[in-house]
Each structure stands twice: as C-alpha cells, then as structure tokens.
C-alpha cells in the first residue's frame, strides 16, 4: 500500500498503537432525501431534521483539521447528491486532508449527477479511489415501492453501468441491506441482480436498529438466515471471481476482501445474541460528523455526542482530543461495547493485533 499524502509508518503506528487520529470518517452531508424508505433511521416528520446543514465554508474549515492519518471519507446522508455542492465538498477533502479514497453512499436516483461527480473528481485528482455504494434491496417494483420513488431500480442499474465504464479508479458496488422486508426473497433478489442485470460487484449489510427504525423481533431469525445465505453466496462467487468487489491483484484489495469476510463472521455471531468479541475503535480510528456539525464516535451511540464543531471553531481535532472523547473511548472499552455496525467493525478488525495474521496472510496470498 503506497500512501501519497502521508507516511505509511505514521498511519500504521496510529492504527495499531496510538489510535489518536481518525483513519476514516462518515460525513452525513445532508439529511435531505428524495426517497422515503420504510427502514430509514431519519425522522422525516421532524421539521428540524433538515435545518442548519454545514455550509461549504464550514466544511472547508473542518477539513483543515482532521489530523495526518485520514485515508478515507464516506460522504453520505440522507441522499448526498441532494446537495448541489457535493463536488465542491469532495474537493475540500482532497485539497485539505490526506485521504486516498472517497466512498459515496447513494440511492442512485440521479444517474447524471453521479456521473458528473465521478468525472469532475477524477479530473481533479486522477489518483483518488472512488467507490459508489448503490443501495438496492429488492426486485424492481418492490424496491421502488419500499423506497417510495418511481423508476428508482432502473436508475440504480443505469448509474451502475455508467460508472462501470468510467475507469479503474471508479468502483460502483451494489449493496443489499437485509431487512424484514426482503429476507424472504433474498435468493431471488441476488440472482436477479447478478444474473439478469449483470451486476458483478455486490456487498451486503444487515439492517440495524437506529434512529426511528426498530427491527420487528419476530423477523430477526429470518433476517439472519437470509444474511448467512447471502454472505456465503458472495464469498463463493468472490473466490470464483464471478463477483469482484475489490482488485484482487492489489494488496489493499485483498486486505479489504479478507476484512469483509471476517466482519461477516463476527456479525453472524453477534446478531441474535449480542456479544463482545474485540474492542471497538469508534472515537479513535473512526468517527461520525452529522449534517449539522456534531461529532459522534459512531452512528449507534446517539447519546454520546463528542462535541459540536460550530462551538469549537470547526476544529475537529480539538473535539477528538477533548476530555469527553477520552471518557467516551474509555466507556466503549470498559463496557465492552459491541454491535453489528459494519463500518466500525472494519476498523475494529484493522486496528486489532489479533486479526493481523489473517489479514497479512490474505494480503500476501497465503490463504
Ligand atoms: S435512500 Fe437512504 S436516506 Fe433516503 S430514505 Fe432511504 S434509507 Fe433514508
Ligand atoms: S461497538 Fe458499536 S455501538 Fe459500540 S462504539 Fe462501536 S460502533 Fe458504536
């Protein structure tokens, strides 16, 4: 792994020893969205949900204070493309931080806007790795119905195909969230996407209780069974190279692939009977910035706000080093906090010594 904007030694030391700077952030750039999914955590009924988004100027200031180890930002929402200045926001991260990659989570309802974003950003920085996570959870009609958006499924496929043609640095991937709505039809959905629509980059996540969404208890077993089937199918097809989520010729690609497999195994063990497996590094290697500029360790601990950027001169690292963050990190470790939140699990795996032998073996093609 060659880092272009920071030193590899510094980043590895931060990941495995110091754990004082974020290596990945999820930035909710807006709460606005043109869809209305039944499982969404956003409270669309509350008029305050959409107010006081960070301005571009505030984001410029915030990105100037993100430490020297940041490798990735995930621009999400709401629907991030609801912000007309999303290209400018991404450029602020590229100019002011050490990121190597940008991840954009989108409902893909606006294919042309996504395409222009990809063109502009790769023109601006031809080395940046751009991944677009396109959410598709069901067969065409049901997908449109659950998300309450006409023609959405077709727009998702169009977005995927447009991006797929755009070059090696641009990676569209379809992400299926297994929920109480689709768990009975997961095989049909996967096969339709993979065989009929020709999608060859597919990931999956497990729906979480978050915000206003709560999983119906009687559906949890079925949700887990569907998730087990889907992750096994993706794993098998990754081995036969029918599904290519990462570049298996690069060390980084093989590392990520192994990290996904380890994360699926952990989630399967924790979903029905929550249990602690290894320490979570939310609040140290990983964090969240809300659309209004509040900083959290993760999406789940909504009552553990670490600080408000607007009350801290937009200085993220000031919040990351404050007493509240130190206390929250201690709480996370002491309480053996655990959950199935995939983003945080990724940094749990990357930041723990116990997983290093398996990751190293995968990186070096020894397993
Ligand atoms: S597309 Fe995403 S943000 Fe929009 S309503 Fe659905 S889950 Fe919520
Ligand atoms: S284990 Fe889950 S809830 Fe706890 S800090 Fe990590 S991501 Fe947040």
- Dump pLDDT digits (tens) for 237-252: 999 999 999 877 777 7
pLDDT of 231 = 96
The ligand with the least distance to the CA atom of 133 is 1
What is the pLDDT averaged over residues 113-128?
Answer: 96
Model pLDDT for residues 192-241, shown as the tens digit of each residue: 999 999 999 999 999 877 666 677 888 899 999 999 999 999 999 999 99
Give the contacts of 35 (CB within 8 A, at least 6 positions apart). Answer: 79, 107, 109, 147, 148, 149, 152
| Nearest one of 263, 265, 187, 199 to 226, comparing CA atoms | 187
From the alpha carbon of 332, which atom of ligand 2 is closest? 5
Q: Which of 31, 75, 79, 182 to mutate to test the pocket of ligand 1 (most atoms within 8 A of CB)?
A: 79
Say if CB 362 and CB 258 are below 8 A apart.
Answer: yes
Q: How far is the CA of 303 from the centre of ligand 1 (A)?
A: 22
Ligand 1 contact, 53 CB (< 6 A): no
Model pLDDT for residues 258-304, shown as the tens digit of each residue: 889 999 999 999 888 888 888 899 999 999 999 999 999 998 899 99
* Direct distance between the N- and C-terminal alpha carbons of the chain, in angstroms, rounded to an integer: 19
Say if CB 202 and CB 245 are below 8 A apart.
Answer: yes
Ligand 2 contact, 350 CB (< 6 A): no
pLDDT of 366 = 63
From the alpha carbon of 77, which atom of ligand 1 is closest? 3
Q: How far is the CA of 339 from the centre of ligand 2 (A)?
A: 6
Q: How far is the CA of 68 from the centre of ligand 1 (A)?
A: 32
What span, in angstroms and rounded, lies between the C-alpha atoms of 356 and 145? 43
* 220-239 and 251-270 helices, crossing angle to 10°: 160
CA 328 → CA 17, 20, 273, 320, distances in Å? 18, 13, 24, 11
From the alpha carbon of 78, which atom of ligand 1 is closest? 3
Say if CB 215 and CB 180 are below 8 A apart.
Answer: yes
Say if CB 97 and CB 60 are below 8 A apart.
Answer: no
Ligand 2 contact, 288 CB (< 6 A): no
From the alpha carbon of 344, which atom of ligand 2 is closest? 7
Ligand 1 contact, 67 CB (< 6 A): no
Name the least confident of 1-15, 149-163, 191-205, 312-326: 1-15
The ligand with the least distance to the CA atom of 37 is 1
Backbone angles phi, psi at 306, to 5 degrees: -90, -25
202, containing H or E segment: strand 202-206
Question: What pTM value is reported for the model?
Answer: 0.92
Model pLDDT for residues 39-95, shown as the tens digit of each residue: 788 888 888 888 899 999 999 999 999 999 999 999 999 999 999 999 999 999 999
CA 150 distance to own-chain centroid: 25
Say if CB 136 and CB 143 are below 8 A apart.
Answer: yes
Ligand 1 contact, 21 CB (< 6 A): no
């Amino acid at each position: 792994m060659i880092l272009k904007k920071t030193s590899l030694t510094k980043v590895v030391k931060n990941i495995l020893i110091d754990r004082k700077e974020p290596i990945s952030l999820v930035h909710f750039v807006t709460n606005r969205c043109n869809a209305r999914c039944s499982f969404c955590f956003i409270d669309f009924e509350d008029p305050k949900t959409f107010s006081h988004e960070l301005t571009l100027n505030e984001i410029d200031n915030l990105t100037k204070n993100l430490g020297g180890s940041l490798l990735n930002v995930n621009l999400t929402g709401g629907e991030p493309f609801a912000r007309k200045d999303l290209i400018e926001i991404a450029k602020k991260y590229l100019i002011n931080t050490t990121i190597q990659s940008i991840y954009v989570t989108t409902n893909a309802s606006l294919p042309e806007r996504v395409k222009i974003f990809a063109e502009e950003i790769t023109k601006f920085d031809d080395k940046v790795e751009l991944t677009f996570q396109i959410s598709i959870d069901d067969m065409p009609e049901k997908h449109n119905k659950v998300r309450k958006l006409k023609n959405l499924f077709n727009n998702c496929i169009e977005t995927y195909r447009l991006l797929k043609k755009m070059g090696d640095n641009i990676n569209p991937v379809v992400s299926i969230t297994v929920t109480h709505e689709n768990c009975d039809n997961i095989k049909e959905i996967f096969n339709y996407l993979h065989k009929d629509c020709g999608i060859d980059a597919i990931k999956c996540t497990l729906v979480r209780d978050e915000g206003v969404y709560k999983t119906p208890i009687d559906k949890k077993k079925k949700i887990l069974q569907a998730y087990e089937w889907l992750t096994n199918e993706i794993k098998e097809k990754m081995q036969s190279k029918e599904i290519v989520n990462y570049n298996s010729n690069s060390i980084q690609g093989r590392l990520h692939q192994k990290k996904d497999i380890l994360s699926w195994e952990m989630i399967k063990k924790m979903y029905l009977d929550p249990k602690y497996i290894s320490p979570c590094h939310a609040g140290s290697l990983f964090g969240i910035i809300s659309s209004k500029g509040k900083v959290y360790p993760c999406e789940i601990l909504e009552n553990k706000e670490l600080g408000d950027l607007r009350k801290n001169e937009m200085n993220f690292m000031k919040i990351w080093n404050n007493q509240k963050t130190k206390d929250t990190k201690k709480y996370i470790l002491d309480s053996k906090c655990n959950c199935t939140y995939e983003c945080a699990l990724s940094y749990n795996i990357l930041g723990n010594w116990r997983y290093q032998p398996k990751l190293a073996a995968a990186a070096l093609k020894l397993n």
